[in-house]
Amino acid sequence: MLVTSYVAFLLLLALCLGLELTARRAVPVQPVPTASTNPSFRGFQTLFLRGYLLALWADWLQGPYLYKLYRHYSFLESQIAILYVCGLASCVLLAPAAAWLPQALGRRRTCLLFCIAYSACCLTKLSRSYFVLLFGRILGGLSTSLLATAFEAWYVHRHLEVHDFPAEWIPSTFTRAASWNHGLAVAAGLVANLLAEWLGLGPVAPFLLAVPCLTACGWVLISHWGPTQARFTRSCMEGLRCLLSDRRVLLLGAVQALFESVLYIFVFLWTPVLDPHSPPLGIIFSCLMAASMAGSSLYRLASSARYRLQPGQLLCLSVLLAFFSFFMLTFSTVPGQPRPGESFLAFLLLELACGLYFPAVSFLQGRIIPEERRTAVLTWFRLPLHLLACLGLLALHGEVSGTGGGEGGAGTRHMFGGCAAMMLAALLAVISLFTLSRHDSDLRLESVQGEGDI
């Protein structure tokens, strides 16, 4: 797969470039000229992105070689599955604490805690002790939860309460962060491949590089980010009430839990499916991230005034693409007859679906969930998400332990079949959501409202 991966990477980069240029030429649906020309806002936005993107970069560096590192330490696939389950379980158990910490410690201090916890998590990768690595996964689960909540909480608080910028400008910052995020992910795969394979430093090298990046992030937070006052609220219970009182919020949460839980299972499975065929894992990771970048550019193009597709339609398309990719994987991972080329293509298709999914679901969250309840509601969304992923990996662990599992094994194929079934359930939830809110103008892009139902 060596030649295939490099050719695919070059083709995907060309596709991303073509889609990006086409998307930029298309008329934007919702321009925000005041935000883009306000120097005070731009300075504040740049200050936030400087710290946030360093945190994201450190996170992406750990993606390509995590499974490979555990295999390098001679752990069995069933043991690695338990490590992943512990990481996801810690996300479930520590998610309420991650939502509470910004209120108890202050938002900047919680972001600093992320840097410390994630650095410790990376340093545990130097140990071959299973229990040390297990502790590292728990720290990783806490860090992931903090990354998903603390940085956004700091930004939103400073944006609204300190600088008094309009709430309508908030999405422009996270859109810009998402654009940088894709490029960082692609670059992280290349850098990880350079360290681990081209320079022969081994799969632990990318984790060690993440530590100085997290240190730099912490320095930015201490020296440039202003503190926020700790304040206790009842936001978690208010978020739960919002979730249970609005059926649209509940359905959107179901879509997110089903779709994103299978992504955690995919993160565990893509390496054992492809690694026996000796691909450069960092390049494969960059290919996957480039496919996601292409999906994001495709979303921008499709939702522009030129093509006028609605986020609801693109969400349906993303779920369908994800279903088709898992359907392909059930046939490309037949025991004894693995077809790595087809599996790689299915993985690329899944990442393309992710590129469409995340901006679509982000738009709908912004329209359905009240701004003041969003962080708490999204915390509740993540609980079933991680629980479903844990159950899936535990089921895979059981099959691997019982049958020997391995690449192309029955357990892997059954898991992909289960993921396909979950995508069908997510599709039903999407259809129910937009049947319920078919005439709701809030769920439509402004420039195409009034031109038919979603």
When pLDDT is averaged across residues 83-108 and rounded to a whole number, the result is 80
Percent of the residues in the chain that have a pLDDT greater than 90, as a whole number:
43
User: Which H, E and C letters describe the chain, residue by residue?
Assistant: CHHHHHHHHHHHHHHHHHHHHHHHHCCCCCCCHHHHHCHHHHHHHHHHHHHHHHHHHHHHHCCCCHHHHHHHCCCCHHHHHHHHHHHHHHHHHHHHHHHHHHHHHCHHHHHHHHHHHHHHHHHHHHCCCHHHHHHHHHHHHHHHHHHHHHHHHHHHHHHHHHCCCCHHHHHHHHHHHHHHHHHHHHHHHHHHHHHHHHCCCCCCHHHHHHHHHHHHHHHHHHHHCCCCCCCCCCHHHHHHHHHHHCHHHHHHHHHHHHHHHHHHHHHHHHHHHHHHHCCCHHHHHHHHHHHHHHHHHHHHHHCCCCCCCCHHHHHHHHHHHHHHHHHHHHHHCCCCCCCHHHHHHHHHHHHHHHHHHHHHHHHHHHHHCCHHHHHHHHHHHHHHHHHHHHHHHHHHHHHHHHHCCCCCCHHHHHHHHHHHHHHHHHHHHHHHHHHHCCCCHHHCCHHHCCCCCC
pLDDT at 352 (0 to 100): 96
pLDDT band at 376 (very low <50, low <70, confident <90, very high): low
Lowest mean pLDDT among 110-124, 346-360, 382-396: 382-396
pLDDT at 278 (0 to 100): 85
- Greater model confidence, 228 or 2: 2
Rounded CA separation 21/36 (Å):
20
pLDDT at 373 (0 to 100): 66
The CATH number that domain 48-225 falls under is 1.20.1250.20
pLDDT band at 244 (very low <50, low <70, confident <90, very high): low
- Greater model confidence, 333 or 351: 351
For 38-64, the pLDDT digits (tens) are 888 899 999 999 999 999 999 999 999
Sketch the domain layout of the chain as residue ranges. Answer: 48-225, 244-440
For 125-163, the pLDDT digits (tens) are 999 999 999 999 999 989 988 998 889 889 988 888 888
Q: What are phi and psi of 102, to 5 degrees?
A: -60, -30
**Averaged pLDDT of the chain:** 84
For 251-300, the pLDDT digits (tens) are 888 898 889 888 888 988 899 899 888 889 999 999 999 999 999 999 98
| Interacting residues of 375 by C-beta distance below 8 A, sequence separation 6+ | 99, 149, 152, 153, 156, 235, 239
When pLDDT is averaged across residues 367-379 and rounded to a whole number, the result is 70
Lowest mean pLDDT among 93-107, 322-336, 410-424: 93-107
pLDDT band at 411 (very low <50, low <70, confident <90, very high): confident
pLDDT at 403 (0 to 100): 44
Q: Please check the confidence at residue 316 and state whether its pLDDT lies above 90.
A: yes
Lowest mean pLDDT among 178-192, 204-218, 329-343: 329-343
Q: Please check the confidence at residue 406 and state whether its pLDDT lies above 50.
A: no
* Statement: 244-440 belongs to CATH 3.40.1350.10: no
Q: Please check the confidence at residue 414 and state whether its pLDDT lies above 70.
A: yes
pLDDT band at 33 (very low <50, low <70, confident <90, very high): very low
pLDDT band at 211 (very low <50, low <70, confident <90, very high): very high
For 150-202, the pLDDT digits (tens) are 898 899 888 888 888 888 888 888 888 988 998 999 999 999 999 999 999 99
Neighbours of 14 (CB within 10 A): 12
pLDDT at 232 (0 to 100): 47
Topology alike, domains 48-225 and 244-440: yes
Q: Report whether 422 contacts 391 (CB < 8 A).
A: no
Rounded CA separation 407/329 (Å):
12
Taken in order 360, 361, 362, 366, is the CA torsion positive or negative?
positive
When pLDDT is averaged across residues 83-99 and rounded to a whole number, the result is 79
pLDDT band at 31 (very low <50, low <70, confident <90, very high): very low
Residue for token digits 């030129």?
306
